[in-house]
Amino acid sequence: MKKLFRTMMLAGGMSGALAGCSSEDLYNPEAVREKAEQAFGMEVDPEQDWNMLNVVSANITIQEDALTDYTFRIYTNNPLSEKTTATLLAEQKISTDNKGKASVGLTFDLPSYLNYVYVARVDSKGRRLVKVAKISNDAINVDFGTAKASQTRAAITSGELPTMECPYTTDEVNELIANAYELTDYIWYPNPWNPAADDLSSNNINDLGLVNKTSIVIKGDYNTRFYIQNETTTTYQIIVTGTYKLADTTIPQNVDLIIAEGGTLDLTDCQLNMGMNSRLIVMPGATVIDNNTSENEWTPHINNNDATSYIYNGGTMNIKWFLQNSGSFYNAHDAIFTAEAISLQNENSVITNWGKMEVNKIVGNGSQGTINNGCLLRVKEEINVLYLNQAANTALECEKIKVCEVTLRENCILRTSLLNDPSNTGGHYNDIKYVGDANGAALISAKHIGYVNVGGDCFKISGRIYFEADTYEQPAFETTIMEATTANGYALTKVGEAPIYIVPSYKGDDLSKAECVGNGNTPVEEVPEDIEPTIYTYAYEDMDKAGGDYDMNDVVLKCSIVQDGKITVSLAAAGAMKDLTVHFNNKQKGTDIALFGGKEIHEALGVAAGAVVNTGREVTAEVISETIEVGEGFSYKEHGNFYIKDKENKIHIPAFTNGFQKGDVPYAILVPVDWEYPQENVKVSTAYSKFETWAGDVTKNTDWYLQK
């Protein structure tokens, strides 16, 4: 049950010096208490102690460069955001050992309304890696456990990506050619439904009279079409060594269409459909071209629509529209593939790239298809598929990407303008997973990171991934990370600050000159640190026999965080007309000193005695400051006993007021921000509308001081 205006005893000097005063004409502390309660005029929660701070312990470990200096910084909010409200809570410098390891433990004051903090590892260039740390039992545990990648081009490793050998060696293809039946434009086979047709149009490949041959070779320029079928289980080969300009056709079942070294398949005027158990095999040195000028992406020039068929590219393919239904596509090492668009039409559709690919867009509507990238993949517009897997030491560069599950191996890069397109939240995007390597970091670099679902078990990160971005979508991407229970290896940073060095392979447009790491990654040389430290505000209401007005500006102190064992205390305002001095009793050291040279506050500010200074009246003065030593481990909540004093009486914040009980009215408060204190004669509950709610219920509006 709430109670109204519980009596609060004034600290030490006031209660002791005035305890014997009994005349109503004299200054009577009991009368002052009554006046204070009347002036306060608000219901007080019986559990209210006016404390706005918690003390949190931090255990932080690091594994990076050996024998190197780093700094840990702890912030109230994301220091990477362009519109951040972050302030610095604590910092500590460390040095790693000869194995690159270090650990540190420290305590710091935290505004009690916060449930998590942001911890940054800062290197000598000012580059930051940031992790979100959830506070549990007044403690956080943070591990920056990733050694920096070396500046070398390591060999590509497959990880879990599928690999495929070319179905034929060059020698095997040459042997097939030597024994093949040769087709030319001068040989035609009558179509029983159209005897005048000049094309290859038997109902059955065996009707061609191959005489125990299973291979057909096209050596010259050949412009006819296939209408043949293979009604047997025998695998036949159609081998192109010249230029074959294909019209609409289907590769028959159990037929391999092989484009041999020096051969060209021209798809300009056709739609090539893959039959059951058929394969299109482009050998090294072979070419597939498509010069169609149509803009209709729904008319694919290759339609791989059977689960038993696949395309193997070991040479160069340049096509317009590629529809992948149930089959698979494999781009081999050193092969080059370019296309206007790839459409994945089935959850089982698979694109595997171990060479170089450049595509305008790859679309699977967020719920279809898998992209396996084992080298360099550039997508000019968007990727929207179900799964994306990258091998170690690879690069994927795209404009925007939306993928349900991303798996990244060590030292690979996913570079994009937009990660998780917020304009399209369909498909499987209630489940987003980023899976990194346990051994080394991968990099996701984005100008903007978009929507993620923050509820339940929807969002997970595992392994070691650096996320770098200029901006983040709301609900904030970074705050959801703390709910990812396996997110021990991730880190957030600004673009250019991730410590992952990969030498650029080639920045031009010629894919044949590029290597698998694409444009590589080199962190920027220096990043300025511009996050302001947290300021703690002590606001006093001086009580006398006339009571107070609870504008909380009779004396205002601004105090800095602890840095190198020191704090700076500033006298910001003097709303009291009486003579007062400011003192500091360091509960940690047991010392008690007068501040600002022991001068009376008006004298210290350089104004006339009794003037009301810096509270909205006409008198203003420069804030004065003093730096004092407090020692490491100093806490404002536990040790910060700053108080004001007249000739006989002292006023403390409740935590350091002798005899204070929960629910009593405060004569001073400690606000854990650079607080904009009320103007003269403006009651604190008027200046801050949520203050009264917090006073009456300690669980509500605990951040009342952040918004007027």
DSSP per residue, 53-105: EEEEEEEEEEE-STT-EEEEEEESS-TTSTT----EEEEEEEE--TTSEEEEE
Query: Confidence band (pLDDT; 50, 70, 90) for 206?
Result: very low
Cα-Cα-Cα-Cα dihedral sign, residues 147, 150, 153, 155? negative
Q: What type of residue is 285? A: G
Q: Report the C-alpha gap between 358 and 427 in whole angstroms.
A: 25
Instruction: Give residues with Cβ within 8 angstroms of 284, minimum separation 6.
Output: 166, 170, 261, 314, 315, 332, 334, 335
Instruction: Name which residue leads in pLDDT, 1 or 308.
Output: 308
- Could you tell me if 68 and 124 are in contact, meaning their C-beta atoms sit under 8 angstroms apart? yes
The stretch 548-555 carries a mean pLDDT of 91
Q: Report the C-alpha gap between 263 and 243 in whole angstroms.
A: 6
The stretch 618-643 carries a mean pLDDT of 94
pLDDT tops 70 at residue 549: yes
pLDDT tops 70 at residue 263: yes
Give 186-190 contacts, CB < 8 A, sequence gap 24+.
Answer: 188/224
pLDDT by residue (tens digit) across 169-194? Answer: 999 999 999 988 776 543 444 433 34
**Which stretches of 587-635 are DSSP H helices?**
601-605
Work out the angle at residue 39's Cα, subtended by the Cα atoms of residues 696 and 677, and round it to the nearest 5 degrees. 75
Query: According to the model, what pLDDT value does residue 186 have?
Result: 39
Among candidates 394, 372, 383, 373, which has minimal Cα distance to 343?
Answer: 383
pLDDT by residue (tens digit) across 340-349? Answer: 888 888 888 8
Beta pairing class for 279-282 and 310-313: parallel
The stretch 610-637 carries a mean pLDDT of 94
Count of Cβ atoms closer than 10 Å to residue 575 Cβ: 27
Query: According to the model, what pLDDT value does residue 220 have?
Result: 76
Query: According to the model, what pLDDT value does residue 273 have?
Result: 83
Q: Report the C-alpha gap between 401 and 416 in whole angstroms.
A: 7
- Could you tell me if 470 and 450 are in contact, meaning their C-beta atoms sit under 8 angstroms apart? no
Structural fold of domain 53-144: Immunoglobulin-like (2.60.40)
Among candidates 21, 18, 8, which has minimal Cα distance to 646?
Answer: 18
Backbone angles phi, psi at 588, to 5 degrees: -75, -40
Number of H helices, E strands in the chain: 8, 42
Query: According to the model, what pLDDT value does residue 390 have?
Result: 95
- Could you tell me if 557 and 665 are in contact, meaning their C-beta atoms sit under 8 angstroms apart? no
